[in-house]
Structure 1
Amino acid sequence: MNSVDDLITLIQDELGLPIDTGDAESSFDDVPGWDSVHLLWLLTALERETGRSVPLAALLEAPSLRAVYDLASAPA
């Protein structure tokens, strides 16, 4: 995953949500169609896509998709 655009594409493809790059900075409450179950699906998709573990506790505290991208792309 090289950019937040890649994360948005992953969410569109894996979760089927109608979001775009402009939603990356929004609070999860403002992301169209988002609910808490999507975060668990996203965790699984991210780990499969990146080949590494993403800490669930940190993911649960992430305030936005941009923060999720930062977690998923942080050096191991």
Structure 2
Amino acid sequence: MAPRTKVVFVWTLSHVGIAGNEKVDELAKLALNQEMHDDKQVLWSDLKLKVKTHLEQLWQTDWDNEVDNKLHEV
């Protein structure tokens, strides 16, 4: 990602009914009442690592909760 690239997260209705998104919606609504600070910067490498780690944890949780999956035996 190039320096000074602006990343904007936008809430959409498309995730309705997916487990865990109710909490995300609740947190997003709370964030609307927070004061914004434009002076804080996050390095793309830091953000990328956090997102990757979080996604891996979500995948692992889903995998651990799988039942009747013959691949668990491997």
Q: Which has the higher contact order (CA 8 A, sep 6+)?
A: 1
Q: TM-score scaled by structure 1?
A: 0.28
Higher helix fraction (1 or 2)? 1
Higher-Rg structure is: 2
